[in-house]
Amino acid sequence: MRLDESAMNIPINLNDYTPTILVVDDVPANLDVMVAHLQQENIELMVALSGEEGLELAKAKLPDLILLDIMMPGIDGYETCRRLKSDPLTADIPVVFLSAKSDEIDVEKGLNLGAVDYINKPFSLPILRARLNNHLALKHKSDMLIQLACTDELTRIANRRHFDLIFEREWLRAQRNQTRLSLLMIDVDHFKQYNDHYGHGEGDRCLKQVARALTVELHRPADLLARYGGEEFVVLLPETDFEDAEFIANQLAAAVEKLAIAHKKSTCAPHVTISIGLASQLPGSQASRQQLLKQADRSLYKAKNSGRNQVYGTMSAINEAPAAN
Ligand SMILES: [Mg+2]
């Protein structure tokens, strides 16, 4: 998940929340009934006529809830549910079975597959609505908690925990697809002096402005900016080679300079600047994820040691032999 500004806009009022429900049923007439019943509600509906189509739609649209029939030609509802739950992308979407199969053993099977509820056909419309509303409210709360757990409180960008998760995922993807991956470690120059001189309130404001400027400068959906800690930021650039990463790094540095935040105690400029360490992973490299991170850190150290307010990166050092452990 990329944490952009729109994703941060969590609706506080449940009335502003328009959940999406995917209804999967092989009988078009059943779908028509559901659409007719649920359409008046503040709900967006999508329909699929088979388990396969349901899986495709679920992955593409990530609905807030899936109403799933069991008896369908092709893959049945149980198998559809099993596949939804085994895919990390769709595993957290609540599934509600809606089925004419009402034996205890069927209900138990459905719930054991991870469904949050099992409703028998024919159903009572008010009870169906009430149950769906309860499940949607829970899903909404859980989405908000996940969002909070991924977000840095001060800057509202991704936090280090979220970065670690995405870095691991992108790292595996790059290995699998033999693509390049670059990392930028960013440090606000002489930030301690800034804080000491202007006070912590201004320090916080400065970090927020820097985070905002960096966010605006990163245009591609897969790029991830996170607060790494204190005045340190990290940028993950999937499918990006050294030259492109260097270009982006220079743009980020320019964007921060353009903020022109006065910094009387800086020795590099009269305003706030950043140092950036760059590390780029070559396809097929044996270096580990931790080594790439360490390399970016070393580059940052060199950028700071060479007078700050600059980008430092090396490509060659990446092809190190893997660590013995
Ligand atoms: Mg059916």
Domains of the chain are 5-150 (3.40.50.2300), 160-319 (3.30.70.270)
Other C-beta atoms closer than 10 Å to the C-beta of 153 total 8
Give the count of alpha carbons within 13 A of 201, CB side only: 0
User: Which positions are catalytic?
Assistant: 231
**Residue 286 confidence (pLDDT):** 80
Cα 122 to ligand 1 centre (Å): 12
The amino acid present at 115, given as its one-letter code, is A
DSSP-derived secondary structure letter, 316: G
Cα 225 to ligand 1 centre (Å): 45
Q: How confident is the model at residue 64 (pLDDT cuts 50, 70, 90)?
A: very high
Residue with tokens 């050092």: 317
Checking if the pLDDT of 6 tops 50, the result is no
Residue 277: phi and psi, rounded to 5, are -105, 130
Q: What is the mean pLDDT of residues 36-57?
A: 90
CA 22 vs. chain centroid, Å, equals 22
CA distances from 268 to 96, 194, 195, 197, 252 (A): 60, 13, 16, 16, 17
Cα 125 to ligand 1 centre (Å): 18
Distance CA 78, CA 84 (A): 10
Cα 71 to ligand 1 centre (Å): 4
**Residue 14 confidence (pLDDT):** 53
pLDDT in tens, 67-107: 999 999 999 999 999 999 999 899 999 999 999 998 999 99
Cα 137 to ligand 1 centre (Å): 27
Cα 33 to ligand 1 centre (Å): 14
Q: State pTM to two decimals.
A: 0.73
Q: How confident is the model at residue 294 (pLDDT cuts 50, 70, 90)?
A: very high
- Residue-level length of the chain: 325
Residue 112: phi and psi, rounded to 5, are -65, -25
Distance CA 19, CA 213 (A): 32
